[in-house]
Structure formats: C-alpha cells, structure tokens
Chain A
Amino acid sequence: MKKVVELIISIICFTAILFSGPIKPIPNEVKVDKKKVQLGKKLFFDPILSRDGTISCATCHDLQNGGDDGLKFSFGIGGKEGNINSPTVYNAVFNFRQFWDGRAKNLKEQVIGPIENPVEMGHSMEGAVETLKQSKIYSSDFINVYSDGITQENIADAIAEFEKTLITPDSPFDRYLKGDEEAISQKAKEGYRLFESKGCVLCHHGVNIGGNFYNKFGIYEDVNSSNLGRYNITKREEDKYVFKVPSLRNIALTSPYMHDGRINTLKSAVEFMTRHQLGRHMEEGETDAIVEFLKSLTGEISVIVRLK
C-alpha cells in the first residue's frame, strides 16, 4: 500500500515537472452546480433579459461560432452599435478579470454589464427581475434552484455558472502539451518555439494563454485607439490605453481582432502585435509559423453547448 502511494506521488511530481511550461492545458471540466447550469443556459439564450426582448447573451456570444459574433462591434437593442469588440465567452472563466478593461472581478459581476449597457441589452437588473417574475416557468425554475427565487444576484449567479462550463479543452496544442507529438504540425511546433523566443509568451501565457494581466495597447508605436481602456476606471494617466491581455485560445475563430476589431486576419494581427507590442521585426516565414501555432489552439466545444 505504502509503495503504491509513493508511486502515485512520484508520478504526480513527474507530470508536474513535465507540464511546467509557460502554457498549461485547459482542464477537461470545471466543477459546477448542474441545476444552476441548466437555468443559466436557459437565461443565456433567452432575449427576455433585454429591455425590448430582442437581444440575448447568445446574440453576441454565438456559441457555435467561437463564442463571439464575428463583428467589429456588436449591435444591441434597437440596432444600436456598440463601441467595443465582443470578446469570446469561451474560457472566460480562466480570465483573471472580465471585460477588456477588467472592470468585473469575475463572471458573476460581468453578467450585469451587458444587461445594463444601454447599447447592448439596455435593461436594468431590477427590470430584468420584474420581467422574469412575470413568467411562471422562470418563477418555478428559480425556486427549484434558489430558495429566495428570482433576484439580481441569482440571475447573475446562474448565468455565470453556465458560463463556467463554456471551456474548450483538448485543443491540438493541449494534446501536444500532454505528450502527443503528432497532435500538431512541424510548422506549428516551430511557431510555438518562435512564440516563446520572440517574447509573445511574456504576455500570453498560463492556462488561457493570456487573460491574466493588463498591458498597454501600442507600446512601441502609436495605435490611434479611441478607447482609453483602464484609464476610464482609474483615471490615472499611466492607465491610458491599458487593456486586459486577451486569451489566445480559439483565436482562429474569433476575428476580428483587438478591442476595437480593427484587424481581420490572424496573420495581420500577428504582424500588428510584433510591431506595436513587441517592437520587433519578424520574417514572413516566422509570422506564418506563429499563425500555424495559433491555429492549433482551437479546442473542443463542451457537451452542454452541443446539447441544444
């Protein structure tokens, strides 16, 4: 028995060393409350949360399509255009803060944002609670899950719980990290080497390959951004044009890129990053290799999404 335990411990230690690179694979599942998830999923797809009942979370976060809407800016109620590119909802749970400017501490705080944003769902949480309370089905659904029924807190909690399940494990690169040498092409492997050696990895690392700190948009060259980023929250000069570093997972599916969706292709995004964020020069072959690597970051859509 003791021997077995020792053996197991040694295996765990060994694997820990093996996977201690800057990028870590996504866990296959996250612990969730299944009842909350079902309710959250229902809310996620229900436009009832918007003021005029036209926009649901899924309108801008199309789960069949990379978790965003593929637009530069999204359209909210009454066809109003937003001012920021919808980030993907996939793997958002692994982000250290939510929104481009990181104003939400977690998913639960994030949920409220789009509901109350006048150019998105244009509602208020109080209003959303009232609307839901008129639905007998929702009333009983909530009572089944929460003892206090429909509240702002519970709406956010349910949706956040659902969003926790929106992870995309098992991407080719994750499989490669876990030891499957055949999972990605030689070119992608080369891309990964460049990704590390050219300094990309300094900002894009961890489980989510990004999403774990803020950085300035346009360090080495001016980028002409109209959005001031974290400055809007802190009002400090040094936070101007500072945004959350986005995750690169599923990046091939989430064009257009940058917080203002200014770039359409992955290659130009890499080129843009090289120039403005790294202040470097890269050969075209190198850029292509990195693009190849980035493409290997597309993971599997979770079961709950596939089950309509």
Chain B
Amino acid sequence: MIHTKNFWKRRIDKFLLLLIFFALILSFLFLYLQKIDGEIKNYDDYHQKLEKMINLDHQFENFFLRAYRYIDYDETSRVSKEFEENIDYLKKSNIKKEFSQHIYKEVENIESVYKQKLQLLERFKTLNSRVTNSIHYLYDLRKTIDKKYRDDKQKQELLEEIFFTIGQLLMDLPFDQKKLTKNISKLKEYSKEYREFGYFYQHSKQFFSDIVMIKKKLLEYKEIELFEVISHTMQDLVDYYDYNRKEQKVITLSFFLLSFVILIILMFNYQRVRKTTRELRAFRYAIENSDNSIVITNKDRKIQYVNEAFELHTGYMKNEVLGENPNILKSDLLTDDFYKEMNEILDRGEKWEGELINRRKNGALLYEKSSIVPVFLEGELVEYLAIKLDITDYKEQQQKLQQSAAVYENIGDGIMITDSEKKILSINPAFLQMFGYEEEELVGQEPMIISSVKQDRSFYKRMWYSLTRRDRWTGKIYNKTKSGKVLPIWLTITVVRDKIGAIANFIAIYTNLEEIVEMEEKADFLAYHDSLTHLPNRANFEREIVRVFDVAKDNHEMIAILFIDLDRFKVINDTLGHHVGDEMLVYLAKRIKNILRKDDLFARIGGDEFVIILESLKTRKNAAMMAEKILSVVREPIQVQNYHLNTSASIGIALYPDDGLEKSEIIKHADSAMYYAKEKGKDRYEFYTKQLSLDIQMRLALEQELKHALKNKEIYVYYQPQYDLKNGKVIGAEALVRWYNPTLGQVSPELFVSVAEETGIIIELGYFVFEEACREFMHWKEQGLNIDSISVNISSVQFRKDDLLENFKKVIEKVGISPHNIDVEITERFIMEYSTTNLTILEELRSIGCQISIDDFGTGYSSMSYMKSLPLDTIKIDKSFVIELPHDIHDVEVSKAIIALSKSLGYKVIAEGIENELQESFLREHGCDVGQGYYFAKPMDTGAFVAFAKEKNQ
C-alpha cells in the first residue's frame, strides 16, 4: 500500500508538471494572439493614416486647380495641418519596430516630399492672391476707363487686346508675345499721361509676370509625386503586413499543435491515475472499516491518516487530529521510560509491540494493544503505521474485580457468601469482627448459627419468598454474637444466579444498627422538642393534636385548646435583650407546667406563644379555671438577672367539638380568641365565639380598605372643643381622626385605630392628623380665633419611629405653628409599655415647647408616684369615671382623688365625656380645670368649630 502511495505521489507530480506546462502554452498562445490583435489594429491605423494622406493630397491638387480664383486660405492651412498631424503620428508610432526601418524611411520621405509641395503651395498662394487682385482690379479699371474715354477708340482697342491676351493666358491658349510687348509699351506711354492707365500698366505688367510664375509653379507641382510616394509606402506596408501574417499563422498553428499533444498526454495520464485510484479506494475501504484503529504519521510523527475505528475509539474526529502528534492521546499513566524504550526500538527501524494507556477525547482511559511499524521506502523512513486494538473493556473488568475484592476486605459491613445450599463459603473480616467468630468456625456452617430468637418462623418464610421471587430481600433483624449479645442488623440478601438461571450463591450484607438506633432516638427528641424550654415544639403539637382528636372522637370527649401569648414580651426582648427574654420564658414555662396535669400537652409554638391541649374535659368551666390559674402564675413578678419583671398573658380558648371538628379550624379559632383577649385589654382569657369569626372578617376587610384610605382622601379630622369649666370659654380643641369609606361607611375610630396600629398605617395616619390639626389651628388664628392649644393623640406605635421628633419639627416649621400651642396626648397604656429610659422622647417634645397630656387616665395600672417622674403637663380623666358621676360613689371617689393628686403634683386636669349638667357642676366644684364632652359640644368640622368657638368666646 505504501508503494502504491508513492507511485501515486510521483504520478501526481508528473501530472501537475504537465498541467502547468499546458497552462503556460495556453497563456503564451493567448498573449501571442493578443499581440497579433494589437498589430492588426495598429496596421489598420497606419493604413488609414496613409489613406487619409492620399485624400489630403487630393485636396492639395484641388487648390492648385483653383488657380486665378479666390481661395479660402484657412482651408489650405487646415489641410496642411491635418497632413502634418498624420505624418507626425506615423513618425511617433511604433511603425519602425512593428514594420521596418524601410517603411519608416519611406514615411520620412513622404514628409520631405510633402514639405516641397507645401512650400510650392505657399508660393502659389502668394502668387494667386496677387494675380486674383490684378485681374479683379484690371477689370475694375477697365470699367472706369471705359466710362472716362468712351470715345477714344485707340485706347479702347488697346485695353480690349490686353484683356484678350489675359483671357488667352488664363485659358492656357497660345498668345502673341510680340503684340503683348507692344501693347504693354503702349500702355506705358499712356500711363505717363493718364493716372488710370498708370495703374493699368502697373497691374498688367505685374499680372503677366505673375502668371508666368504661376504656370511655372503649376508645372513644378506636377513633378512632385507625393501621391506616388504615399501609395508606394502603403503598398510596402501591406506587403510587409501580409508576410508577417503568414509567419504568425505558422507560429500560432504550432502552438495549437503543441497544446493538443500535451492534452493527449494529460488524458492518457489521467486514465492511468484513475485505475490506480480505484485500486487505492479498495485498500482504503479495507482500512477504514477495520476494527483496529489505524494511524499513519509522517516521519516527523505528525498524523496523516486515521480510520473510522480510530475516531470511534478515541472520540477525536479526523480533522481534529490531522497534523497533530499522536501524543495528544497520551495519558500520564505510563512512565517516560516506557516511551523512551518504545522510541529507541522505532528509531532502530524495528517494529514495536505493546500496550498503550491513552486517553479518549472525553478524558476516559483507552487501553490499546498496539503495534507500530516504521515504513521505509527506498531505504528512507517515510512514515509510521500504527495498528491498535481497543482492550479497555477487558482491562476495566479486571480492575473492577480487583476493586470488588478490596471492598470485600475493607468494608465496615459484614458480608457473607453462601452456596445455593446455604452453606457458608466465605466471610469478610468485618463480619468476623461484628459477631466475634473466627473464619474457620463459620465456613461450611449454616447462617442460622447467628440467628436470635426474636424472629419467628413466618418471618423467615416471608424472607425466602421474597428471595426466590425477587432475588433480593432487605429488612431489619436481630442477630446474636458469639458472646450472646443481640445486635439490631440491617440485612440485605442478594441471590446470584448462573447462566441458566439457577441459584449459584447468596450474598448477605450485615449492617450493624446499634449506633444508628441510639442516634435515631436522640434525633427524634430534638425534632419534636423546643431546645430552650424542652417543651414539645410546634411539630410535636401538630402530631399530637391529631392523635388527641382521634381519641376524643372515639370517646366523645371534649378538648380545649389554649393559646397563650405573653403581653409586652417584645418590649422586654427589645429593651433588655434576648437572653433576659429567654430566661423569662424558661421560668414561665416551668411555672405553667407545674400547674398542669401530667397528660396535658404543653408546647411552645413560637417566640412567646404557647399552646395547651386539655384532654377529657368535663365542662367549659374547667378550661376557664385553668386559664385563670395560668394568668395568675404568669402575673407573678419574675426576678431575672437583677431585673424585676412584671408580665402578663392573653389566652384564647377554643373547644372541640363545639367550635369545630377540624384541627386547623380549632387552632385558628383559639388564635382568634387570644387576639380578642389582647384587644380587650390583655392579661385575660376569652372563649371563641361565632361573633369573633365575623369580627375578624370585618377586620380583614377594614384592613384592606384602610390601606388606601389616606390616598383616597377618606380620612379627615374633627375637632372637639375643650372649655374652661369656670367661665365656659373655649380654650382648646382635641383633634379626632375620622374615616368615611364608600363601602364600609363611617368607621368608628375605636375599630380602625387599632387596625392602623397593628398594620403600621398609624405612622402615616398620625403624621397626617398632626399636620392637618396644626394647619387648621393656624387657620383659626388667621380667622381671629385665639385659643390656647390643639391636642393631638399620638399612638405608641408612632413613638417607635426614631425620626418622629424630626418629622414633627419639620411640620411645625412648615406650618409655622408655635410648639407651645401643641398638646401631645399619649395614653396611659403607652407609659406602661415603655420603660423610663425610652420616654426621653417626651422630654424632647417638651423641650421644644410642646405640652404632654395623659389620656384615658385611670384605666391603666400606673401609679401616681410613678407618674411623678414623668414629664407631664395635663391629666385627662377617662370618661368611664365621669359617666356615673355624681351617683356612683366609687367613681366620685376616684375622680376626686385624681383631681386632688393632679393638683398636688401641679398638673392641669381635664375631664372627658361630660354629658350633662350634673357632671359638669360636680367637676367644676371639685376643682377640675377643663371640660370636654357632648354636653358642651360634639366633635365637629373645622368650619363649625370656628363658628362655635367664636360665639362662645364673645
């Protein structure tokens, strides 16, 4: 094959050479034809010029023929110029080279002959103009003389004779020279006497001499054979050209013949090449379809050829590897020495055989049994041929077997292999270690030797059934060690079948579950318990509740779910830190757990959220009692890290089956009830009622609407006058927020303010009311209404914002109100929720001039002494105390006490909710400063307020 390849190469070389030669001849031929074409064109050109010159020469002739007549000399100039141009053209052309020196000489000859002719023409022109003038003038003169000397016959006759002679001369007729001479001398005589005759004489004389000259010139010009010279040149040109053409024809023909011969040789060659190609194609087919990879490299070891098997085995495509060194396949698994040795053998020109470990394109290993042969042609190394068989599968199988053996020896699981009769064939070290046997003790025995009594016969029956049907069994069993210890084992038995499908071996893998079981138990506890309080967690609770419900359903029992949420836990966490909160939770969890029955589930399901499931409940009351107990233990002060903490809880109770049958339903209801308890003032428990669900729906709707209320301009402010109880004059107003919604109608502030606080909308709402109130206050002032203050309620939620003061300042500045006119109303609840340290905001408000009022005073648990330390200006007695005045003795005492205490502390006192005259006079009598209520005036819009106040203060 190699030989054929070389033959092919040489053949190609020869073929190429011939082809180049052929192309060269063709281009020569082309160029030659091109040259001839050029020559023909030039020849035509020269011929044309000569023809033109002949033509121009004819025109010269014409000029001469027009002797004695007026000639337009511009015309002669044009003709001569043209003739000269033609001559110049020929002289400057390649005529000398293309034709011959001889032709060129002839052209030069034409020029010299032409010059003679031109000179003659010029002289002819000179003479002709003169002669023409003379004839013209003589005729003119004769007319003049005719007129003047009409009667002088002699003179008339003389002129007539002279004119006759002139006519003869012009017509080339013979004339009498003697007579003319005589007449001229007669004229001369007359000319002395008569001026006209003088002119006549002069012109006749000139004319006769000129006409002789002209005739001479005309004879001369006939001798100049310009036409002949040009014609001769033309003939020579034609002859020479014809001769050349013949020569060119011969040359062209020989070129054609030559190229034809080469073409035949090329075709013959092509036939032979085709035959060889067919043979080669057969070889190539054999190589390409071989299962062995075949690689041919040149002597520099660059790949020249690879077959399809190579592509298949290595994953490289032909075009990727051609021109590359085969070592691109090299893996790093063979040593350099290995290759060194291989190269030494190849360099010696010997065949190398061996196993190569290469890599495929995707990086996978490729084991090849290879033989590499250096190919010599005429004693010279031309290429290497490598034939390689892919033995990777075989190799890998071998390796796998080795790996399996290693696994068998080293794995932590015990492995036992038995024959089809369940006689032990082999066991691995781990098995021996696990069960404490020696190998000799077990080989040949039955596996039953390690079985414990924990499984019964039916267990084994099932196991065997699975094994025969599915060839596999897994499961948990208990085995006995040699020392008698029972181990929990995860056993996997696999059936190995031979080729015909009969059982050959059983392979049993024993995994010791001892440790796993322990771990599992621990994990189970962690998964279902709260790590802080060790109480069951939410997951546990959810799992348990299902079980409890199932039991209750079966036994027709009542169950109570108690949702417990600590009040103000967030405040403690935020202000004192998480560790304090956490510790408190642990304490509380312990306290509550102590008062529960052992079976009651008590779980922590969130930060400060707990849930209790009370099973087998007799009545609702039992649940209520339990709730009371819980509230009381929570209420007890707790000492944590030097902090004396007071806290409370809110509890929601839902009952199974009264409040629902589904787990999720009940939980939701307990949650709602808890929220209701919070709303109702915290530190209390509430049972779920159907109304609650409705309220919650309402609340949700409210919340949705409230989100857009401010934007939709549904929020507005009303003002309730505050008046001096002594003289009845309006001294201030409380700004009260109002909401009118198109779908919900007028919504009570009691409903939406709490929702606004929970959702955070209160922040925006609060600013709106504050700004609106301040602005209106300034309007009143503009309208001439001067009162002391405008009271604005600020929610505790608003106080949580750090930039509250900053924003208030901005509003104050924008509106231009004096801070002394602003009365900030906070609730007693606010003071309860905030520790003294956090009340600095009040100090700051006060420092800029605002007044601080405590709203709803008396409803909370705050002590007067505590309030002493607060930056306060005014105390507002809650309307709940006023409403029963002056009949309820308790309320009378309380309000009297509040007024008295406030006075003693220097606070101003305002009574809210005054509805009749009795209340008013009571309060006035007991020293209350300011009143506010329906009895005096309801809250009203700004316009109404201005009118009202103006009227009252007149």
Interface residues of A (CB under 8 A from B): 22, 24, 96, 105, 199, 202-203, 205-208, 212-216, 219-220, 234, 238-239, 242, 278-281
Q: Are A212 and B74 in contact (CB under 8 A)?
A: yes
Q: Are B199 and A105 in contact (CB under 8 A)?
A: no
CB distance from B931 to the nearest CB of A (A): 111
CB distance from A226 to the nearest CB of B (A): 21
Interface residues of B in 59-81 (CB under 8 A from A): 70, 72-74, 76-77, 80-81
Q: Are A213 and B76 in contact (CB under 8 A)?
A: yes
A239, closest chain B residue (CB):
B123
CB distance from A5 to the nearest CB of B (A): 27
A280/B126 contact (C-beta < 8 A), A22-B70, A212-B74, A213-B73 known: no
CB distance from B251 to the nearest CB of A (A): 36
Question: Which of the residues A202, A238, A239, A242 comes within 8 Å of B132, measured between beta carbons?
Answer: A202
Q: Which residues of A contact B195 (CB under 8 A)?
A: 281
Interface residues of B (CB under 8 A from A): 70, 72-74, 76-77, 80-81, 84, 119, 122-123, 125-126, 129-130, 132-134, 136-137, 195, 199, 202-203, 206, 213
Chain A contact surface mostly:
loop
Cα-based distance from A214 to B80 in the complex (angstroms): 14
Q: Are A214 and B84 in contact (CB under 8 A)?
A: no
B76, B129, B134, B203: most-surrounded residue (chain A CB, <10 A)? B129
Cα-based distance from A284 to B277 in the complex (angstroms): 112
Question: Which of the residues A199, A207, A213, A219 comes within 8 Å of B206, measured between beta carbons?
Answer: A219
Question: Which of the residues A213, A238, A279 comes within 8 Å of B137, measured between beta carbons?
Answer: A279
Question: Which of the residues A206, A216, A238, A280 comes within 8 Å of B72, measured between beta carbons?
Answer: A206
A280/B73 contact (C-beta < 8 A), A202-B129, A214-B126 known: no
Cα-based distance from A207 to B72 in the complex (angstroms): 10
Q: Which residues of B contact A215 (CB under 8 A)?
A: 126, 129-130
B121, closest chain A residue (CB):
A213
Q: Are B119 and A234 in contact (CB under 8 A)?
A: yes
Cα-based distance from A239 to B195 in the complex (angstroms): 30
A213/B70 contact (C-beta < 8 A), A199-B136, A219-B130, A279-B206 known: no
Cα-based distance from A290 to B909 in the complex (angstroms): 140
CB distance from B122 to the nearest CB of A (A): 6
A279/B202 contact (C-beta < 8 A), A199-B137, A206-B72, A212-B73 known: yes
Q: Which residues of B contact A213 (CB under 8 A)?
A: 73, 76-77, 122, 125-126, 129
Q: Are B126 and A206 in contact (CB under 8 A)?
A: no
Q: Are B70 and A280 in contact (CB under 8 A)?
A: no
Q: Are B122 and A214 in contact (CB under 8 A)?
A: yes
Q: Are B77 and A96 in contact (CB under 8 A)?
A: yes
Cα-based distance from A206 to B80 in the complex (angstroms): 15
B70, closest chain A residue (CB):
A202
Q: Are B129 and A203 in contact (CB under 8 A)?
A: yes
Cα-based distance from A213 to B130 in the complex (angstroms): 12
CB distance from A26 to the nearest CB of B (A): 12
Q: Are B129 and A206 in contact (CB under 8 A)?
A: no
Q: Which residues of A contact B136 (CB under 8 A)?
A: 199, 202
B125, B206, B213: most-surrounded residue (chain A CB, <10 A)? B125
Q: Are A205 and B73 in contact (CB under 8 A)?
A: yes
A205/B133 contact (C-beta < 8 A), A214-B126, A216-B126, A280-B199 known: no
Cα-based distance from A212 to B122 in the complex (angstroms): 10
Q: Are B125 and A214 in contact (CB under 8 A)?
A: yes
A95, closest chain B residue (CB):
B77
A-B contact count (CB 8 A): 71
CB distance from A43 to the nearest CB of B (A): 24
Cα-based distance from A205 to B74 in the complex (angstroms): 8
Q: Which residues of A contact B70 (CB under 8 A)?
A: 22, 202
Cα-based distance from A212 to B80 in the complex (angstroms): 11
Cα-based distance from A234 to B122 in the complex (angstroms): 12
Cα-based distance from A238 to B220 in the complex (angstroms): 15
Q: Which residues of A contact B74 (CB under 8 A)?
A: 24, 96, 205-208, 212
Cα-based distance from A199 to B81 in the complex (angstroms): 26
CB distance from B65 to the nearest CB of A (A): 17
Cα-based distance from A210 to B574 in the complex (angstroms): 126
Q: Which residues of B contact A220 (CB under 8 A)?
A: 202-203, 206
CB distance from A95 to the nearest CB of B (A): 9
Q: Are A96 and B123 in contact (CB under 8 A)?
A: no
Cα-based distance from A219 to B202 in the complex (angstroms): 10
Question: Which of the residues B77, B130, B134, B202 comes within 8 Å of A212, measured between beta carbons?
Answer: B77
CB distance from A21 to the nearest CB of B (A): 10
Q: Which residues of B contact A207 (CB under 8 A)?
A: 74
Cα-based distance from A272 to B414 in the complex (angstroms): 153
Q: Which residues of B contact A280 (CB under 8 A)?
A: 137, 199
Q: Which residues of A contact B206 (CB under 8 A)?
A: 219-220, 279
Cα-based distance from A97 to B730 in the complex (angstroms): 131
Q: Which residues of A contact B202 (CB under 8 A)?
A: 220, 279
Cα-based distance from A24 to B76 in the complex (angstroms): 15
A201, closest chain B residue (CB):
B70
Q: Which residues of A contact B72 (CB under 8 A)?
A: 22, 205-206
Q: Which residues of A contact B126 (CB under 8 A)?
A: 213-216, 242
Cα-based distance from A199 to B70 in the complex (angstroms): 10
A230, closest chain B residue (CB):
B122
CB distance from B564 to the nearest CB of A (A): 108
Question: Which of the residues A206, A216, A238 comes within 8 Å of B73, measured between beta carbons?
Answer: A206
Q: Can you pick out 28 interface pairs between chain A and chain B where the beta carbons lie within 8 Å of each other?
A: A22-B72, A96-B74, A96-B80, A199-B136, A202-B70, A202-B133, A203-B133, A205-B74, A208-B74, A212-B76, A213-B76, A213-B77, A213-B125, A214-B125, A214-B126, A215-B126, A215-B130, A219-B130, A220-B202, A220-B206, A234-B119, A238-B123, A238-B213, A242-B126, A279-B133, A279-B202, A280-B137, A280-B199
CB distance from B135 to the nearest CB of A (A): 10
CB distance from B51 to the nearest CB of A (A): 24
CB distance from B514 to the nearest CB of A (A): 108
Q: Which residues of A contact B213 (CB under 8 A)?
A: 238
CB distance from A18 to the nearest CB of B (A): 16
Assuming A203-B129, A278-B133, what are 12 further A-B pairs, CB within 8 angstroms? A202-B129, A202-B133, A207-B74, A208-B74, A212-B76, A213-B76, A216-B130, A220-B202, A238-B213, A242-B126, A280-B137, A281-B199
Q: Which residues of B contact A278 (CB under 8 A)?
A: 133, 137
Cα-based distance from A59 to B125 in the complex (angstroms): 34
B136, closest chain A residue (CB):
A199
Q: Which residues of B contact A205 (CB under 8 A)?
A: 72-74
- CB-CB nearest 4 A-B residue pairs: A206-B74, A96-B77, A212-B73, A213-B125
CB distance from A271 to the nearest CB of B (A): 15
Q: Are B73 and A96 in contact (CB under 8 A)?
A: yes
B77, closest chain A residue (CB):
A96
Q: Which residues of B contact A96 (CB under 8 A)?
A: 73-74, 77, 80-81
Cα-based distance from A213 to B77 in the complex (angstroms): 8
Q: Which residues of B contact A242 (CB under 8 A)?
A: 126
Q: Which residues of B contact A202 (CB under 8 A)?
A: 70, 129, 132-133, 136
B123, closest chain A residue (CB):
A238
B124, closest chain A residue (CB):
A213
Q: Which residues of A contact B123 (CB under 8 A)?
A: 238-239
Q: Which residues of A contact B122 (CB under 8 A)?
A: 213-214
Cα-based distance from A203 to B72 in the complex (angstroms): 9
Cα-based distance from A281 to B141 in the complex (angstroms): 10
Q: Which residues of B contact A219 (CB under 8 A)?
A: 130, 206
Q: Which residues of B contact A22 (CB under 8 A)?
A: 70, 72
Cα-based distance from A278 to B72 in the complex (angstroms): 18
A216, closest chain B residue (CB):
B126
Q: Which residues of A contact B80 (CB under 8 A)?
A: 96
Cα-based distance from A215 to B73 in the complex (angstroms): 12
CB distance from B88 to the nearest CB of A (A): 10
A105/B84 contact (C-beta < 8 A), A234-B119, A279-B206 known: yes
CB distance from B519 to the nearest CB of A (A): 101
CB distance from B330 to the nearest CB of A (A): 66
Q: Which residues of A contact B129 (CB under 8 A)?
A: 202-203, 213, 215
Cα-based distance from A279 to B203 in the complex (angstroms): 7
Q: Which residues of B contact A199 (CB under 8 A)?
A: 132-133, 136-137
